[in-house]
Amino acid sequence: MNTNIEISHITKKYKNGVTALDDISFHVGSGVFGLLGHNGAGKTTLMKALVTVLTPSAGTIRICGFDTVKQGNEVRARIGYLPQELAMYPSLSVFDFVNYMAELKGIHNKKAVSNVLEQVEMLEFSKRKIGQLSGGMKRRVGIAQALIGNPQILVVDEPTAGLDPEERVRFRGLLSRYASEGRTVLLSTHIVEDIHQLCEELAVLRKGHLFYAGTSAALLERVKDKVKILHLENENQLIELQKKSVVLSTTYESQGLTARIMDESGLFLQATPVTATLEDAYVYCMGGKAHA
């Protein structure tokens, strides 16, 4: 497998003393690769280092063999980037905005602009003002500007956050199509369903550390036969349960509540085993939660 992204011992420390990333190493081949983690886990910092917006404090990142610090121009020529918050000009038309972003990349080709708008199903809205678009349409325009120049690597940060289910499905299809033919999409998100639908491989960041990197199947193996459900009568029992086990989620019912737990040592004999999901594995990686 070709390694399109190689991250080696990356650390990022800010001047205020915060360590956003601590000795992160993993590699990414072709296809869609998922980067999971809570807000504040370090995902956005890593994205910015990948696309040369931030310089790591230590370590190296190579994109298609090029060093992000020493060969920034070569890296930027091979990367398309959709940040979590992309500043747009509301008075510009869709076409004019994407054309403007293309010119910033040194691409003066209006046919190429039309092509990427067609890819994201926005060509028919090319004359509409950015300020008149829905959230999902704006996100599609954001992807269009990232696709200009047909980059080998597409880096997208939380692209489906806040979108309705139909737009999320549309986005997943778009990213999957683009990742074909040897290209790479690095998808940073906290939405487990997107990872489940798109990614065979993923990395999980937790408080700046790499908790896991590998296949989703191997991550599921870690929690196989350990996920169980347990009926509780009241909140006090839940509080006591949280002291003994990772509570993955809770469901409140007319009489009491049901807790979905990680029973690693087989202590809860009265609990009923259930099939583990990728979300179970992710919540376990993040240290559990009381309510879902």
- Summarised one tens digit per residue, pLDDT across range 11-21 is 999 999 999 99
The amino acid at residue 165 is P
Predicted pLDDT of residue 185: 95
pLDDT at residue 103 above 90?
Answer: yes
Predicted pLDDT of residue 131: 95
Predicted pLDDT of residue 292: 33
Predicted pLDDT of residue 162: 79
pLDDT at residue 157 above 50?
Answer: yes
Confidence label for 208 from pLDDT (cuts 50, 70 and 90):
very high
What value does the mean pLDDT take over residues 81-99? 93
Predicted pLDDT of residue 290: 36
pLDDT in tens, 227-281: 999 999 998 999 999 888 889 989 998 888 999 999 988 889 889 999 999 888 8
Nearest-angstrom CA–CA distance, 98 and 5: 26
pLDDT at residue 291 above 50?
Answer: no
Predicted pLDDT of residue 21: 97
Are 4 and 28 in contact by the 8 Å Cβ rule? The answer is yes
pLDDT in tens, 25-37: 999 999 999 999 8
Predicted pLDDT of residue 91: 96
Predicted pLDDT of residue 222: 85
The amino acid at residue 242 is Q
Are 163 and 140 in contact by the 8 Å Cβ rule? The answer is no
Nearest-angstrom CA–CA distance, 146 and 159: 12
Element of type H or E holding 147: helix 135-147
pLDDT at residue 1 above 80?
Answer: no
Predicted pLDDT of residue 264: 83
Predicted pLDDT of residue 49: 96
Q: Per 3-state DSSP, what percentage of the chain is helix, strand, and coil (rounded to 5)?
A: 35, 30, 40
Are 199 and 278 in contact by the 8 Å Cβ rule? The answer is no
Hey, what CATH topology would domain 5-220 get? Rossmann fold (3.40.50)
The rounded Cα 65 to chain-centroid distance in angstroms is 23
Mean residue pLDDT of the chain comes to 91
Total length of the chain? 292
Between 123 and 170, where is the model more confident? 123
Predicted pLDDT of residue 88: 93
Q: Which pTM does this prediction carry?
A: 0.86
What value does the mean pLDDT take over residues 39-52? 92
Cα–Cα distances (Å) from 160 to 10, 103, 136, 141, 198, in that order, read: 27, 26, 8, 13, 13
What value does the mean pLDDT take over residues 128-148? 93
Predicted pLDDT of residue 288: 57
Cα–Cα distances (Å) from 101 to 94, 95, 112, 145, 147, in that order, read: 11, 10, 12, 6, 11
pLDDT at residue 182 above 60?
Answer: yes
